[in-house]
Chains A and B, each alone.
Chain A
């Protein structure tokens, strides 16, 4: 009897050990990737690297100024499109949960969340690149489509958490509906919505696949949004697969900067969600 009990207890302890091993071993790849990128990238980054465009193939030096500026422009444009649309659609979904339109657009948000990024790239190619040519605008539209579901869901989830008495109190004072939403409900859920927005920016800033056939990339410095534009992830992709060591160095530096962006945005989101104590 005692022996059996001992066996069962040993089994339980062993199982716990195995679980803990597997759960923590998976942080190793992340740590290794982070350390390696930092080790390779941090030496590349200096003022010259940030302010110059890539050197021609085979020459040393050069920087990633075009990709930095391009990424910022493309992400800013997609935020301008996706944030208002996403917030308003999210407000609709949280305000009218029972309607048929809410059901179908909720379903569409779920679908949009699962659409592979390369498919978004193909579709935007036919929608925008075919009529006006490869351009930063088409890249932004593709990224905006990737961004929408995250913004919508975070807005909806945050607003659903707010107590209904808040809205009822404002309405009973005679405040018109749109001001109740914009001046009472949205400010109360602001932290949750903001963290959703930051999270979505962190997600799209590293997306390469939708940009392959839309913003295309260019080795020149360009701020014309109707022309092809380089972006950080696209630069990493082209230079990572090139045979030149100098271009690999550029790509390591660009990876380092991109990684720092993404990590900072994620940590920022964590701080917001912790300060206002919200769950995403």
Chain B
């Protein structure tokens, strides 16, 4: 009797008694499996972010490896070779560099007044209310319309107008070309700089503005000497992001640029005449590239495009993050 009671006490307090080993503890098992799932879940999360890394590194490696033949054969002179003649195996990227820079910077210059105006209007003059919301949503819709639709529309509506204009100023009336592409590109890139600029101008501390008003400044003077200097680098970052978009934009430009791989000697002919950008030549000729050097010369253009857009984007993002701190 006494022995029985003793053994009962022992079994109740000692963890090493048969009682615990024989009775299955469901709660404990459950929490073990949960812990296992916790680890698995954390590993899945890590794997997914590693996948992102792998994709980007993979893109870079694929581009470098595939453009190796062209880098080896053509060397650095490829970039300023003026003739692009795949039939005779002569490759020079200069026409496309010129085309890309000309379309992008023309588009950028056209777009800057508009994006600054939108940013100042939505950020300072009218930050709240239905009109401001309406304008903001409309600007966002500009970015939402697919680029091929802009290209298609411009090909049948804008190009005839441009052609008439070209006849008036006495240049060859192609219609399609660098000028038309820049016009459409300008509209397409405005939302990027505008929406960033709006949010930055809204972040200008009001004591700064109030101080200027208290000193007797007019609204224009406050904008010119307080708001714009305060947001200068952020607005610049917005313009960089727009530029990144413009450089890589493919479809609208491909439809509109006219696809000529020669450079006109006179600037006016070059500016209003047909041309080619890096992206548009890839889109047009990649499927026809029938030998290794041709293909890899095109991929080298893609590699250059990749590097330039990545650097521009990273600088832009770096400036913005410095702002928000």
Contact = CB atoms under 8 A, between A and B. Distances in A.
Interface stretch (A43-51, A56-64, A118-126, A161-169): A118-126
Contact of A110 (B48, B145, B313): B313
Interface stretch (A72-80, A186-194, A204-212, A218-226): A204-212
Contact of B144 (A21, A120, A213, A263): A263
Of A18, A176, A248, the most chain B CB neighbours within 10 A belong to: A176
Contacts of B118: 22-23, 26
Given A89-B49, A115-B310, A258-B149, A9 B59 contact: no
Contacts of A118: 248, 250, 279, 282-283, 302, 305
Interface in A8-51: 8-9, 11-12, 15-16, 18-27, 29-30, 32-34, 36-37
Chain A: interface residue count, which band? Answer: 35 or more
A85 B51 contact: yes
A23 B117 contact: yes
A16 B219 contact: yes
A122 B63 contact: yes
B12 interface: no
Interface stretch (B69-77, B134-142, B229-237): B134-142
Contacts of A37: 149, 153
Interface string B43-57: 011101111110111
A231 to B, nearest CB: 11
B314 A123 contact: no
B306 A92 contact: no
Nearest to B219: A12
A115 B306 contact: yes
B299 interface: yes
Interface string A55-98: 00000000000000000000000000000010011011101000
B149 A22 contact: no
B50 A119 contact: no
A113 B56 CA distance: 11
Contacts of B302: 118-119, 122
Contact of A208 (B58, B66, B135, B146): B146
Given A104-B53, A127-B62, A213-B287, A19 B125 contact: yes
Contacts of A123: 58-59, 62-63
B165 interface: no
Given A33-B149, A115-B306, A108 B53 contact: yes
A127 B122 CA distance: 44
Given A29-B187, A206-B148, A206-B149, A22 B117 contact: yes
B58 A9 contact: no
B255 A240 contact: yes
B141 A263 contact: yes
Interface of A: 8-9, 11-12, 15-16, 18-27, 29-30, 32-34, 36-37, 85, 88-89, 91-93, 95, 101-102, 104-105, 107-120, 122-123, 125-127, 145, 148, 152, 176-179, 181, 202-203, 205-209, 212-213, 233, 236-237, 240-241, 248, 251, 255, 258-259, 262-263, 266, 270
Q: What 7 A-B pairs come out closest when comparing CB atoms?
A: A206-B146, A116-B248, A22-B117, A114-B313, A178-B41, A12-B220, A12-B218
Interface of B: 31, 34-35, 37-38, 40-42, 44-46, 48-53, 55-59, 62-63, 66, 113-114, 116-118, 120-122, 125, 135, 137-142, 144-153, 155-157, 187, 190, 218-221, 223, 244, 247-251, 255, 279, 282-283, 286-287, 299, 302, 305-306, 309-310, 312-314, 317
